[in-house]
Chains A and B, each alone.
Chain A
Amino acid sequence: MTHTLVPETSTAGRFGPYGGRYVPETLIAALDDLASLYDSMRGDTGFWDEYHQLLRDFVGRPSPLSEAPRLSALVGVRVLLKREDLNHTGAHKINNTIGQALLARRMGKRRIIAETGAGQHGVATATICARFGLECVVYMGALDVERQALNVYRMQLLGATVVPVESGTRTLKDATNEALRDWVTNVATTHYIIGSVVGPDPYPRMVRDFQSVIGQEARTQVLERVGSLPETVVACVGGGSNAIGIFAAFLPDASVGLVGVEAAGEGIGTSRHSATLTAGRPGVLHGSLSYLLQDGDGQVAPAHSVSAGLDYPGVGPEHSWLRDRGRVEYHAVDDHEALEAFRRFSELEGIIPALETAHAIAWIIKSKGRWSVDAAPVLLCVSGRGDKDVAHVASLLGPST
C-alpha cells in the first residue's frame, strides 16, 4: 500500500500551545538533525516503500478488521476490531520501531536505546535491532523488571541489554529519564527510539506518522466492509500512540466521534491513577509541554495503573490539544473495570486483550445505550494481545474456576 501521510497538525513542533523542545542544550543538535532528516523523509517514496515492505513481510500487515459478534450483542451496536494484537511481537509498537530504526540506519547510528514500561516497546525495539544488526539497550524501571520478567527474557533472547532503573519511582517515567541521560552522553553514536507520541519535537509527530498506518488501514477496511464511516473510534491512552495512530485518519471526518480511554487506577479521587487528561494540568516533562500529573509545587506525581503500559504521568502533546479543542473525548476506567473487561472480552470473543486495550473495551461496555441499534459501527483499536498480562491477572483475579 502507498503511505498517505496525514496533513501535519503541528506548527513549529507545537500542537496549539503543547509540545515543543524542553531539553538540555546538548540534545538540540541531535533533535535538529533528526527533525531535518525526518522532514526530508516525509516526502521520500523510497523510504516509505521500504517501511511498508517491512510492515507487510515482517510484521504481517495489514492487520485484519474483525467482527465482535458477542460483544456487539452485549452493547447493542456493531463493534469492529482493528487487530494490532496480531502484529509480530503482539502490539502496535512495532509500527513505530521499524520506522525509527530505518531513520537510525540512514543517520549511520548503530546503537539504539529505548525506554519501556510493560516491555512491549522494548521487545519491539529489540526485535527490529536484531533484524537490522543494531546494538540495543533498553531502560526499564526496576519495579517493571520484576513485574514483567517474561518480556525481560524476550528482550535478552533478541540480543538486547536490559538495564534496570533504580531511581525515583522505578517505573516508566524513570526509565525515560535514564534513557535521556544515556542519549545526552552518547548522542554522537546513538539514536533514541521513544515508544510513544511523547518527548521533544519531532518525536510526537514522527511516532504519530509511523502509527497512522493503523487508522489508514482501518478507515479503508471499514468503508469497504460497511460502506460508511464508523460512528465512534475508541482507543486506550497512556502516552497515546495507538490512539493517535487510529485517530489520525479520522480527524478530518467530523461525523466520527473519537474517544480516548485513560487508566483511572484505584480511582480518580485517589492519588493512585494515570488519568492525565482527566485529572492533570499542563506542565513540562520529558521534553514537551502537555497535561501532566503533578503536585502544587510542580513535582511529577507517581502514576498508577494495573496496566504497566498506561502507568505514566504524562501524555502526548497532540492529545492535550485534541482535548482542549474538544475533538476527542477522554474518559477514564479503573483497574477493576479493566480487569473485568479483560475477562469478559476473552470469554466473548476468543481474544485475550492487553490490559491496556481492556480499558477501551471496558468503556464500550459501560457505554451501552449510547448508540442506537441502527448506528454505524464502533471501531475499537485492539492495541495488543494479553499474553504478557496473563500471569499478572491470574495473581489478581485468581485462577478461573
Chain B
Amino acid sequence: MPFLTAGFPTIRESKDALQVAAETSDILEVGVPFSDPLADGPTIQRSTYRALENGMTVAGTLELIGSANLNRPVVLFSYLNPVLQYGVDRLLRDAADVGVAGLLLTDLPAGADVALEEIVHCSPLDLIRMVAPTSRKARIAQAVDRAQGFVYLVARLGVTGVSAELATDLGPSIERVRVATSLPIAVGFGISTPTQAIAVARLADGVVVGSALVEVLGRHGVAAAGRFLGGLRAALDSA
C-alpha cells in the first residue's frame, strides 16, 4: 500500500506517480497536503510544503484522483482542518464521486469528535482508524469499534519516516489488535526495504510504504518510484 502526497513533486508528476503506483499495489493512500503536518517526519513535511507551493488543495487532490483513473481503492489521508474547511459532508460526497473508498484523519483519534466520526462511518467512505504502540487494551477496543475497511497500526513511536530497523515488539502489537477486531491490519511508519516489507507481511495483512517512496520520487522521479515499488512487490510475491 503506497502512500503519496497529492501534488508532489509537481501536479503532473503526482498523477503519473499515482498511476505507476496503482500497477503494483492493492490499495493507494493519497495524502492531502497541510501546512502543519505534526505527525510527519522531514520527508513528508517537505513533500507537503512543495505540494502547497504547487497550489495543491483539497479540491485539487480529489480532481487528481478522479482524473488518474486508478482502478484501485484509494484511501484519502488528511489532517482534520482542510477537511473541516472544505466541509465534511461535501468532502464525503465529492470523494465518493471520484472513487475514494476510505478516509483516514491523522488528528482525529477515536472519540475526539463522535458526531463527526459517525458521519464518516455512515457515509459511503470507510472510516479508517489508527492504533498506536501506546494504545492500551481498552483503547484499542474503542478505536476498532466503529472502524471500517482495515485498521492502520502505527509500527513504532514517532512520526512518519524511514527507520533502519523494525520495532522489536511489532508481533505482539499486531496480536493485540488481532484479538480486538476481525478487520485486516495494515502496518505503516518506518517501512522502507523489501526485507522489512516481507517481515511485516508475515505478520500483517497490509504493508504501507510512504516516506521511502516519496523520497525516491522526489530525488529520482516517477520511473524510479515505479521500479522501487516493483521491487517491493516482487519481494512480497516471492516471500
A residues lining the B interface (CB < 8 Å)? 20-30, 32, 167-168, 173-174, 176-177, 180-181, 184-188, 283-287, 292, 294, 296-300
Contacts and interface: CB of A to CB of B under 8 A. Distances in A.
B107 A300 contact: no
Contact of A184 (B37, B81, B159): B159
Given A188-B134, A284-B107, 18 more contacts: A22-B107, A22-B113, A23-B112, A24-B106, A25-B109, A25-B134, A28-B135, A29-B132, A168-B35, A168-B49, A177-B38, A181-B41, A181-B159, A187-B157, A284-B79, A286-B36, A287-B107, A297-B86
A27 B133 CA distance: 10
Contact of A298 (B38, B85, B106, B157): B85
Contacts of A32: 139
Indicate the size class of the contact surface on chain B: 35 or more
B45 interface: yes
Given A25-B143, A184-B39, A188-B157, A300 B134 contact: no
B172 interface: no
A24 B41 CA distance: 13
B81 A285 contact: yes
A169 to B, nearest CB: 9
B81 A284 contact: yes
A285 B41 contact: no
B219 interface: no
A176 B132 CA distance: 21
Given A23-B107, A283-B84, A298-B82, A180 B112 contact: no
A24 B109 contact: yes
Contacts of B132: 24-26, 28-29
Q: Which 7 A-B residue pairs are closest in the complex by CB-CB distance?
A: A298-B85, A298-B82, A185-B158, A26-B132, A29-B134, A299-B35, A25-B132
Contacts of B106: 24
A53 to B, nearest CB: 34
A180 B38 contact: yes
B109 A283 contact: no
B51 to A, nearest CB: 11
16 contacts: A21-B109, A24-B39, A25-B135, A26-B132, A28-B135, A167-B49, A168-B35, A181-B39, A187-B134, A187-B157, A283-B81, A284-B84, A297-B57, A298-B82, A298-B84, A299-B52
Interface in B177-193: none
Interface of B: 34-39, 41-42, 45, 49, 52, 57-59, 79-86, 106-110, 112-113, 130-136, 139, 143, 154, 157-159
A186 B134 CA distance: 11
Contacts of B35: 168, 299-300
A298 B135 contact: no
A167 to B, nearest CB: 6
A181 B1 CA distance: 24
B154 A26 contact: yes
A21 B108 CA distance: 8
Contacts of B80: 22, 284
B130 A298 contact: no
B36 to A, nearest CB: 5
A243 B91 CA distance: 37
Nearest to A169: B35
Given A21-B112, A28-B132, A294 B157 contact: no
B159 A22 contact: no
A20 B107 CA distance: 11
Most chain A Cβ neighbours within 10 Å, of B130, B154, B159: B159
A139 to B, nearest CB: 12
A281 to B, nearest CB: 9
Contact of B107 (A24, A29, A297, A299): A24
A321 B82 CA distance: 22
Nearest to B42: A167
Contacts of B133: 26
Contact of B130 (A25, A185, A285): A25
Contacts of A180: 38
A299 B134 contact: no
Contacts of A21: 109, 112
